[in-house]
Structure 1
Amino acid sequence: MGRAEERRARQRGGHRAAPRRRSRRAPGKNDGKSFIRRLFTWKKLLGTFLGVCLLGIGGFIVLYLVVDVPDGNAAAQAAKLQSNVYKYSNGDVLARDGKVNREIVDLSEVPKDVRNTFVAAENKTFYNDAGIDLKGTARGVFNTLSGKGAQGGSTITQQYVKNYYLSQEQTVSRKLQEIVISLKVDRQMSKDDILAGYLNTSYFGRNAYGIQAAAQAYYRVDAEDLSVEQGAYLSALLQAPSTYDWAVASETGKKLVKERWNYVLDNMVEMDWLDSAKRQAMEFPVPEPPKAAAGLEGQKGYLVELANTQLENQLMKQEGLSRSEAESQVKGQGWTITLNIDKKKQAQLEKAAKTQLISKLDPEKRPVDADIQAGAVSVDPKTGKIVALYGGADYFKHYRSNATRTDYQPASTFKPVILAAALENKAKTQDGTTIGARTVYDGTSKRPVVADGKKIGFAPPNEDDVDYGDVTVQTATNKSINSVFAQMGIDVGLDKMMETATKLGMDTADLTPRAAHTLGTMGASPLQMAGVYATLDNHGKKVTPTLIASAEQNDRTIKMPDPIGEQVISREAADTVTSVLTGVVDDGTARKSVRDNPARDGQEVAGKTGTSDFGRSAWFTGYTPDMVTSVGLFGEAAKTKGKVKEGDQVDMKGATGTLPGKGRVNGGGIPAQIWAAYMFGVTKTDAEFDLDTTQGAGVEPTPTPTPTQQPTETPSDEPTSEEPTSEAPTTSQPPSQTPSQTPSQTPSQTPSQSPTTSPPPEDGDPEDPIDPGLGQ
């Protein structure tokens, strides 16, 4: 022991200090924190990062050296386009479509200001960039890897490369090829040559490839004669050609393309390519109506158009494509598309439209006849297949499909949706009675609608201002009484009413619920209404009408979604609505055209008529147990006359010259006649509704109205701000005539159903023009 140790030992009490021992831990028992620190040191992290970067750079260099710019020219690009073949469900060929409409023009033939509209729209840095947008490209690769598809970010050079040299498929390898080729093309070609290639290969819709074809298709001029305003529209169009085509665009589509048009022009001002004062004076250049392509005459064009749209929708959903990319993948790309269209049913529907409408129109004798358009869609409710479709008299004469247009009001064909919402939500009236087929409402015309005991400023008239007094919901549906359903919509709740409409298949995304919607003042198409009623016919299981049976391209097959979805409303609610709607046919507004039709051979039928405000549209949507068909008649001005412009919605009064009464076109007239002429030739005569309900005309006899004394005073034609002196409750029943509320029993007496003024014609539809702005 050394002296120092001895001294320390004495200081500790004379004991020798124990020698220090090194800590021994079993292998693998080292402190976790220390292990992680040793594994993830900043040096290792930095080295890994640099290594990955070097590998990426090296890989890209190899890719750049290996990938060459493919041979490409206009003829080669055109050769890529092959006709699509469209077939009936039995395999017979319906149509072939895919003839290339392209004419190459030199860039000098396109005015400089028009060229700048495309640069302003797609790639403001075009003249200064290296051909790619690194940020946008990275986002595109990430979206592709994550299955979302490319979503913007491509430069004009990249879009040209994709259009001219590559396919539209969304894969990482194709995206990487695009990047490499774009870099090389930018080095090998001048910016003007790239822009010329881009303008000559882009797809503009209307089967137009390239700016020359687009100029002719939309404005009937050559590219060299395009104005800046027109160029801005065409450049805006590239984002979504079919959605932004003014001739077929929805109100939302028109709004979006106008916004895009303004965006392009504002960018041009920002880039000093357009004088601000000139820009402010510019007006939106509405394009000319389209011309139909050869081979798509008659109904063919309408069927091909819807088939393309449904296939594009599926590609967008399945592969994450943008609308313009999906269109490029479908148009002229060698698809074989088999439709669900039954050739015999299609012929029968076309025959019905011709015999019941087209043959009766004489524009020279009656100018209004030139303004009449018809559309119809027929669906199998068990499969969701669209078995027949009528888009108009001829695709060559009227490019826009009346079967899919959503700019006309469905009117009272919307009323069953309100009833379905009431039944599904077990809604109650203002006095707390649960709403059902026997519930009694006040059918007085212009009766102010009440919410929580207060008038809300909405008092719609019934047709011809007829007062029906106290009536059951069944009778109100049969007679299509506006005042009853206006109140019922408020009782259900407007939000719940629109929610049910959405579940059943209507597009209500952009609508703010308001009282006027209870009378069907929103827009809808025969296709949408066929889906709504098919869901009711299918006992509440969602039906999304589908035109395509299969779509194949070489060895590629696109799986279409199942048209039959989940239960969206209860079976009892759906079946009760069906039961009630049988009364419209047997004892309501469709009795003359449908119930008493000599072609009817015992078919069970449910349906609803509809006539919109000012007689601009008329509908009959009805169904048997095995088929649903919606027929719409639309007043569309055939030409500009005074304040009325071509395409405006107009009154159809006096059309065909065969209308009874005041000459108004009602849903129970021509639409129901077309429906019956078609349906009674294609539906099963022995099919029966399998209804799980104890309510409605379909499961109980319609009671005979009990005569009552007419009131001594006629209700005021105009609603007042004061409470009525004698209360007219929405559901209260006369003490001596209270119907039984027991579902299994029929009421012994029914409230008076005799109108206090003359009823409308027998085949009329008790709906009157209303101001769609009411209730706001």
Structure 2
Amino acid sequence: MRAVAWVVGILGSLIPVGVIVMGAIFLFTYASASVPRPDDIKQNQVATIVDTKGGEIARVVPPEGNRTLVPIGDIPKTVQDAVIAAEDREFASNSGFSVSGLSRAVWGKVTGNEDAGGGSTITQQYVKNALVGDERTYTRKFKELAIATKMSNEWSKDDIMGAYLNTIYFGRGAYGVAAAARTYFNKDIKDINTAQAAVLASSIRSPSYYDPATNLEAAQARWHYVLDGMVSTGALTAADEQKQRYPKVAAPTDNQSGASTSGPNGLIKQQVLAELNSLNISEQQVQTEGLKITTTIDPTVQKAVVGESNDKLEGEPSKLRTAAVSVEPKTGAIRGYFGGNDGNGYDYAQAGLQTGSSFKTFALVAALEQGVPLSKVYSSAPFDAPGGLTVTNSDGESCGSCNLATALKMSLNTVYYRLMTDLNGQARAVADAAHQAGIPESFGSVKKTLQNADGNVEGGVVLGQYPSRVLDMASAYATLAASGVYHAPHFVQKVETADGTVLYERKADKGERRFDAKVADNVTAAMEPIAAYSNGHALDGGSRPSAAKTGTTQLGDTGSNKDAWMVGYTPQLSTAVWVGTDNSSALTNYAGNIVYGSGLPSQIWQAIMDDALENQSIEDFPEPGAIGGVAGVPYEAPATTEEEQQTTRDYSTRTPTQQAPTRTQTTQPQLTLAPGFTIPLPGGNQETGDGDSGQGNSDNNGTGNTGGTGNGGVRGNSGTGRGNTGN
């Protein structure tokens, strides 16, 4: 007890000392602080986004003249009341800062309640935005509090409110309430009514997030919060609140968010600005502090990504689209990014797309994690899954029976479906492995990836049934390239203000180990032969080791494809390439042939990687450790019987005009349920079918179907049924 009393006594003696010291610092800062008039403040409104070499990628420049100073007498009281309700309900009585507001903010942080309220008063916000900036230091905070207190003593509340409303950023490039009234409602500020005032006030906290054009539900919720606040402050009666209706808001125009950036860099700009928000760099800072934002984009890699993505599509049908992302495995830095050529349009690198056989890699990860070696042998014969589902291989391809490495190289659906059913967790294990690698748990409107709405994971996950993004595939494969260590993909490296103050700088980190190194390295070993095997797309003439996998998904039961992929890596760079259309129509090339992963996507991938790595040293992958007594790709004897030789024949040399042999076979009517799955229907018929013109390749992607066999692994009915997922 004496010890406790002694500690309490010491603490009790120290607290007054701390209060005295802080009080002295505050008084000194208060005495030395000066409070300029609003029109004395000069603001730099240009932010510059640059690559790793300092080359300009984009600018964020609000439109010239998009700030109109108006006297407080011209700003309707309902606008002022709405802003008070949104930002500082004790504005009329506080002395520049609010003890209760600060307490609510601290309590909100402790409890995780974001609606608890902010700690900054309107006066503090004005001082921070217009005078002292947003640097996270005690010195800056003391200065903000001191100036806010001094301003509250020297200025009238009308002076403070007028300066604040003429300075604050409302989104869409609008600085000040007069510009905001024009931007959102095409009205003079004097004509803004209560419902419209609440919209303007709602935007201040986070202009992009609460913009009704992009997030109507959140904007309306915030609007109701403002109206409720107006009732609580006495500015509006409850009866009047009930009469309010959310007003019509004008659509944003291109020049409202600043100087538009055309071309692929515009999409990088969007991603950078979104990432800044997650780093707590506010829109106000971006728009007003002259920021220099250094990204992870490497100009050499970016040139390769954009140039080859466009060059390889020259002469191809105009409907074809492509996206490519390159990630550095050792850091997660996004070195190259191409989501399309319209900088203000759709970003295909952020689209959820079916990945086809490129997802088989994660089934192999799951198997190795459970101690299943690469030497594990499975039959490649058609597989009848529970529930009447049938899984077959593209073009009737087969190896007889073969190990997992050979089956990955040949992209055999039946082997990997059989493997999946043997795993602890089955389909869920594949999804979990993909999430571990870097496929996010959610993105965009997808609340939970790699599963159905009811939470179940279908077997089609192993064949790429569920959508993933190009960025995420590059990142997940980068984890394998880094021997199982995950680094979060990112664009932003450093953020500085116009005077050189560093607001953010990314520090090197060791990443997070997601897989044992021997798991990732054995997957890499199994993938090393694939680039060369897939129509000869090895890197640097075959001298640079790479690990890769193609993927193709079919367009329903049409026999055509809609998505084609190539994803692969070296120790220095992981790149994912997708080719498709903007309306999921049939993929065909300039000659009218079907596009597969081993075609255009592999050509683009090879060219990007060769260009990007041209002046970099050739690095070997680590030697894999043993799993189940096997390290790396096991030796597998070639087929010996005539029947085995027939079933393992290689269609990779077939030209686009060659066809598979004509066969006569008996088929049963089938109903396609999901990619790679069918259920038998009553009845059957005998049919004779010629193989379609094949664009055969070493990834088993030829269209030389035999007797109505679908490319994606589902046997067709009367020669018309097709599988949904190709290889």
Shift of 1:620: 2.6
Residue 110 of structure 1 deviates from its aligned partner by: 6.3
Q: Which residue of 2 aligns with 1:18?
A: none
Separation in structure 2 between the aligned mates of residue 104 and residue 438 of structure 1, nearest angstrom: 73
1:135 to 87, 92, 100: 100
Note the 1:451-490 alignment, pairs <5 A.
473-474=404-405, 477-478=408-409
Q: 1:508 to 1:136 in 2, by over 3 A?
A: same
Counterparts of 2:493 and 2:19 in 1: how far apart (Å)?
50
| Matched AA of 2:436 | K
- For 1:515, the equivalent position in structure 2 comes to 457
Q: Match for residue 329 of structure 2? A: 381
3-state SS of 1:609 partner:
strand
What is the DSSP-based 3-state SS (H/G/I as helix, E as strand, rest coil) of the residue aligned with 1:572? Answer: helix
Q: What is the match of residue 608 of structure 2?
A: 678
Give the SS at the match of 2:577: strand
Moved more, 351-360 or 108-117: 108-117
Runs of at least 5 residues in structure 1 that lack an aligned partner in the other structure: 1-31, 317-322, 363-368, 427-433, 637-649, 725-752, 771-776
Task: Evaluate the alpha carbon distance shift between residue 326 and residue 767 of structure 1 in structure 2; reply closer, same or farther with a 3 A threshold.
Answer: farther
Q: Give CA deviations for 1:137-195 in whole Å, capped at 9, x if unaligned.
A: 256689999xxx99932233322232223211223343334334434444555555544
Contact 1:466/1:756 (<8 A) preserved: no
The yes-or-no answer on 1:203 pairing with 2:169 is yes
1:540 aligns with 2:484: yes
- Give the AA of the match of 1:167: G
Per-residue deviation at 1:352? 1.3
Q: Of 28, 36, 41, which residue of structure 2 is paired with 1:76?
A: 41
Q: For residues 213-235 of structure 1, give each alpha carbon's deviation from its aligned partner in whole angstroms, at most 9, with x where no partner exists.
A: 55676777776787877765654
Which residue, out of 87, 92, 104, partners 2:68?
104
Distance 1:174 1:141, change over 3 A: farther
Shift of 1:199: 3.6
Give the match for residue 265 of structure 2: 300
Query: Post-superposition shift, 1:530?
Result: 1.6
Indicate how the Cα distance of structure 1 residues 596 and 500 shifts in structure 2: closer, same or farther if over 3 A, else same: closer
For residue 378 of structure 2, what is the aligned residue in structure 1? 440
2:520 to 571, 574, 582: 574
Q: Where in structure 2 are the equivalents of 1:309-348 lying within 5 Å?
A: 310=275, 313=278, 316=279, 323=280, 325-331=281-287, 333-348=289-304
CA contact (8 A) 1:144 1:171 kept: no
Shift of 1:393: 0.4
Corresponding residue for residue 689 of structure 2: none
Tell me, what secondary structure is at the counterpart of 1:576?
A: helix
Write the distance in 1 (CA, Å) between the matches of 2:375 and 2:296: 36
* SS of residue in 2 equivalent to 1:135: helix
Deviations 1:290-330 (A, max 9, x none): 447447433333444445555665xx4xxxxxx3x544445
Deviates more, 1:91-100 or 1:353-362: 91-100
Task: Summarize the alignment of residues 120-159 of structure 1 with structure 2, pairs less than 5 Å apart.
Answer: 120-127=85-92, 129-138=94-103, 152-159=118-125
SS of residue in 2 equivalent to 1:607: strand
Pairs within 5 Å for 1:634-649: 635-636=581-582
**Cα distance, 1:563–1:328 mapped onto 2, change above 3 Å:** farther
C-alpha separation between the residues in 2 aligned to 1:233 and 1:617?
42
Q: State the alpha-carbon separation in 1 of the partners of residues 6 and 538 from structure 2.
A: 90
Q: 1:128 to 1:706 in 2, by over 3 A?
A: farther
Instruction: Identify if the C-alpha distance between structure 1 residues 61 and 267 changes in structure 2 by more than 3 Å, giving closer, same or farther.
Output: closer
Instruction: Give matches, 1:19-58, under 5 Å.
Output: 55=20
Q: Which residue of 2 aligns with 1:21?
A: none
Shift in alpha-carbon separation, 1:360–1:177, aligned structure 2, 3 A = same
Q: Which amino acid aligns with 1:121?
A: A
CA distance in 1: counterparts of 2:56 and 2:400, whole angstroms? 57
Give the secondary structure class of the aligned counterpart of 2:473. Answer: helix
Of 692-701 and 667-676, deviating more is 692-701
For residues 16 and 604 of structure 2, the distance between their equivalents in structure 1, rounded to whole angstroms, comes to: 73
1:606 aligned residue: 547
**For the Cα contact (< 8 Å) 2:62–2:287, is it kept in 1?**
no
SS for the counterpart of 2:166 is helix
* CA–CA separation in structure 1 for the residues paired with 2:27 and 2:59: 44
- Give, in whole Å, the separation in 2 of the partners of 1:259 and 1:470: 61
SS at match of 1:632: strand
Unaligned runs of 5+ in 2: 556-560, 648-662, 681-703, 714-720
- CA deviations on 1:323-352 (whole Å, 9 max, x unpaired) are 3x5444455534445444333332232221
The equivalent of 2:654 in structure 1 is none
User: What is the RMSD computed on CA atoms of the aligned residues?
Assistant: 5.4
Q: Relative to structure 2, which stretch is displaced further, 216-225 or 566-575?
A: 216-225
Aligned length: 639
| Contact 1:90–1:342 (CA under 8 A) maintained in structure 2 | yes
From 176, 179, 182, the equivalent of 2:148 is 182
Which residue of 357, 361, 376 maps to 1:416?
Answer: 361
Q: Determine whether 1:692 maps to 2:630.
A: no
Q: Is the 8 A contact 2:544 2:619 kept in 1?
A: yes
Give, in angstroms, the shift of residue 515 of structure 1.
0.8
Corresponding residue for residue 569 of structure 2: 623
Deviation at 1:394, TM superposition (A): 3.6
Contact 1:482 1:767 in 2 (8 A): no
Change (3 A) 1:75 1:37: closer
Paired amino acid for 1:104 = T
SS of residue in 2 equivalent to 1:387 = strand
- Following the alignment from structure 1 to structure 2, what is the Cα–Cα distance between the partners of residues 63 and 666? 72
Q: Hey, what does 1:356 align to over in structure 2?
A: 312
SS at match of 1:341: coil
1:160 to 126, 138, 146: 126
Q: Deviations over 1:428-470 (max 9, x none)?
A: xxxxxx474644267758x54x6xxxx6x9x597799979798
User: So what's the TM-score if we normalise by structure 2?
Assistant: 0.69
Report the secondary structure of 2:307's partner residue: helix
d(CA) in 2 for partners of 1:667 and 1:246?
Answer: 40
Post-superposition CA distance 1:32-74 (Å, at most 9, x none): 75x9879989xx999x799679959975994696265510424
Equivalent residue letter for 1:581: M
Paired with 1:201 and 1:496, the residues of 2 have a C-alpha distance of 54
Q: For 1:71 and 1:505, locate their aligned partners in 2 and report how far apart those are by CA, in whole Å.
A: 50
Percent of matched pairs sharing the same residue: 27
Q: Is residue 391 from structure 1 mapped to residue 339 from structure 2 by the alignment?
A: yes
TM-score (normalizing by structure 1)? 0.65
Counterpart of 2:310 in structure 1: which amino acid?
Answer: K
Call closer, same or farther: CA 1:37–1:308 in 2, change over 3 Å. closer
Q: Does 1:758 align with 2:709?
A: yes
Please list, as runs of the form range in 1=range in 2, the aligned pairs for 1:578-597 lying within 5 A after superposition: 578-582=524-528, 584-587=530-533, 591-592=534-535, 595=536
Hey, what's the Cα distance between the residues in 1 that align with 2:102 and 2:170? 24
Structure 1 residue 489 displacement after superposition: 5.3
Q: Which one-letter code corresponds to 1:758 in the other structure?
A: T
Q: Is the 8 A contact 1:461 1:768 kept in 2?
A: no
Check the 8 A contact 1:144/1:170 in 2, yes or no.
no
Contact 1:544 1:563 survives alignment (8 Å): no
Decide whether the 8 Å contact of 1:98 with 1:332 is kept in 2. no
Counterpart in the other structure of 1:651: 584
Contact 2:568 2:576 in 1 (8 A): yes
Relative distance call for 1:375 and 1:117 in structure 2 (3 A) is farther
In structure 2, how many angstroms separate the alpha carbons of the residues matched to 1:634 and 1:116?
A: 52
CA distances 1:387-434 after superposition (whole Å, capped 9, x unpaired): 322232042x42x6444x2554555544322321332233xxxxxxx4
8 Å Cα contact 2:565-2:597 kept in structure 1: yes
